[in-house]
Structure 1
Amino acid sequence: MTSQSPESRLREAGTGRRAVVRYRIPGGLTDALGIITALDPDSCTLETRSGAVTIPWHLVTAGKPVPDPPARRARPGGGMLA
């Protein structure tokens, strides 16, 4: 079985899909979770909760599309505060 590279998996998923990307930073690794907004020859960009993150491909160590987050549950009692 041949394993796809993280770049190949993310390119196959395409823009508009939710994904997680693990990449190197000074002193270790970190993850970005968000919607893929751009895939170019040098990098990928994800729109995360804290803003856009552009990650050069040479720093990516893992990446894959992930399911959409579960729907938020309504608060008991209709969410109204007393």
Structure 2
Amino acid sequence: MSDMTWFTIISTLGAALAVAIGMMFPALAMGRAISQALDALARQPEAEKSVMRTLFIGLAMIESLAIYVLVIVLIILFRNPLLEYLVTGS
């Protein structure tokens, strides 16, 4: 196999690994946040509006991390600066 084939395979596997790790931790954090919010609501039902507002802001921040991971991986896959170096052979 050529260098280009190996480079493409390694880039794709690296991107898949980055997405797997980069999505796993925000998903765990979201599950923990929701669990804690439900626990807080069970203890103090009258604080529902405050807890829910804070929960949704926190979930949005956690989700933005997962979106950043996806954007970086897509940049690496489709506009990899090392690919240009490999093609020119310099």
Q: TM-score, normalised by structure 2?
A: 0.21
More RCO (CA 8 Å, sep 6+): 2
Larger Rg: 2
Is the helix fraction higher in 1 or 2?
A: 2
Is the strand fraction higher in 1 or 2?
A: 1
Q: TM-score, normalised by structure 1?
A: 0.23
